[in-house]
């Protein structure tokens, strides 16, 4: 038998939070255990999940003073669209388990906060409905898991383009799903009445099975494990929209991606949910930036909980960060308003961090700000790598 899951209670009592670590603790109490474990969990020993967070303590910030920070410009332009902050909502699956509106509430919140959202292929709301919900925002992108059936894959790409998504993020780190032990233990499955909305046509006549996650079955049967760089060339024939690759950790892969013509790179280890013991993403920003220069935007995700985390990521060479799990936790606690509060909180913390570090604009956040822990003789360079 599978565990039937549904969204958490939404009475809003005792849901006040003051930082993004606290929001997780509150959401854990409110979400049903299998849902929390699905959102929070990682692969195997979950070492990469923990390291994604712990890595930020390995870098210190070296501030510069006597700088006018009375007005700080936090705007960031991606694909020609101006965002209020260099913080983008990452693609995350099955958001209706946290709140019945799921991706629709997140899209509205993101639009109101003036930033970008990336919708997951594995969303529990149709991509067209999410596009409408976020139509007043500056930018929406669509995350693509590459389906074996290229005809279906093409139709999904065309649907997203027609709905108004401005580009794609092709996930490259998931030829198979990581070993998620908590999901197996919980016999995790989507609740009745909830489905992977964007894959409906693909799944006609196919059962879900009783003991394994529906997502596991999709990866086993539908996601293309033979994916190579040739797919990027194929996408260029299908769409004129920009193509990012998400899940890059190797500088060599990053260089290959740029050489083949991608429009952006996302440094990511899938939140520690794929290959356990893969490196923390923060550690890989500088070497990847060195490998690709400034030819394309460089985004990252993984472990972001504080404004100073964003500051460190940008100082090491990222152009912007993507925020994941805290958005789900805010959604579980307070729906659309909870997501807005999460984004407002992180933006406010980043603003304060910039002011205290002597950075009046994003371009002023350079590698000279970074002091590796325990190395008081290191002062970095005066510009990004």
- Residue 366 DSSP class: -
Helix boundaries (H) for the chain = 20-30, 33-40, 47-54, 103-112, 127-133, 150-163, 181-186, 214-221, 230-238, 251-260, 281-292, 307-316, 325-357
Query: Rounded to whole angstroms, how far apart are CA atoms 96 and 191?
Result: 10
- Name the DSSP class of 110: H
Contact call for residues 148 and 171 (beta carbons, < 8 A)? no
Active site residue 214: no
Q: Using alpha carbons, list the distances in angstroms from residue 260 to 85, 172, 228, 245.
A: 29, 14, 11, 11
Catalytic member of 14, 71, 214, 270: 270
CB 5 within 8 A of CB 13: no
Sign of CA dihedral 195, 199, 202, 208: negative
Token code pair at residue 372:
């590796």
Burial of 288 (0-12, 13-18, 19+ CB in 10 A): buried
Q: Which residues of 311-343 are buried (b: 16+ CB within 10 A; e: fewer)?
A: bbbbbbbbbbbbbbbbbbbbbbbbbbbbbbbbb
Residues 294, 56: contact at Cβ < 8 Å? Answer: no
**Residues classed as catalytic:** 270
């Amino acid at each position: 038998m599978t565990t039937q899951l549904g969204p958490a209670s939404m009475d809003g009592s005792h849901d006040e939070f003051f930082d993004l670590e606290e929001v997780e603790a509150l959401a854990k109490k409110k979400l049903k255990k299998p849902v929390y474990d699905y959102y929070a969990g990682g692969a195997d020993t979950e070492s990469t999940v923990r390291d994604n967070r712990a890595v930020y303590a390995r870098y210190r910030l070296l501030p510069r003073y006597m700088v006018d920070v009375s007005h700080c410009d936090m705007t960031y332009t991606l694909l020609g669209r101006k965002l209020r902050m260099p913080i983008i909502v990452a693609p995350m699956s099955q958001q209706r388990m946290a709140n019945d509106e799921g991706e629709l509430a997140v899209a509205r919140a993101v639009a109101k906060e003036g930033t970008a959202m990336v919708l997951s292929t594995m969303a529990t709301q149709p991509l067209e409905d999410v596009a409408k919900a976020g139509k007043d925002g500056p930018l929406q992108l669509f995350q693509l898991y590459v389906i074996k059936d290229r005809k279906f894959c093409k139709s999904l790409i065309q649907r997203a383009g027609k709905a108004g998504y401005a580009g794609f993020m092709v996930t490259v780190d998931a030829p198979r799903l990581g070993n998620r032990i908590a999901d197996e233990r919980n016999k995790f499955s989507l609740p009745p009445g909830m489905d992977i909305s964007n894959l409906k046509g693909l799944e006609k006549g196919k059962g879900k099975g009783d003991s394994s996650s529906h997502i596991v079955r999709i990866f086993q049967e539908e996601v293309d494990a033979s994916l190579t760089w040739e797919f990027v060339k194929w996408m260029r024939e299908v769409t004129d929209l920009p193509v990012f690759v998400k899940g890059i950790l190797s500088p060599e892969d990053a260089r290959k991606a740029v050489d083949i013509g991608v429009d952006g790179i996302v440094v990511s280890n899938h939140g520690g949910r794929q290959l356990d013991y893969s490196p923390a993403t923060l550690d890989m920003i500088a070497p990847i930036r060195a490998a690709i220069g400034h030819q394309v935007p460089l985004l990252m995700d993984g472990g972001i909980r504080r404004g100073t985390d964003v500051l460190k990521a940008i100082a090491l060479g990222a152009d912007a960060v993507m925020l994941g799990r805290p958005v789900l936790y805010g959604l579980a606690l307070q729906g659309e308003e909870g997501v807005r509060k999460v984004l407002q909180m992180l933006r406010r913390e980043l603003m304060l961090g910039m002011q205290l570090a002597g950075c009046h604009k994003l371009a002023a956040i350079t590698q000279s700000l970074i002091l590796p822990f325990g190395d008081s003789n290191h002062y970095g360079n005066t510009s990004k790598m």
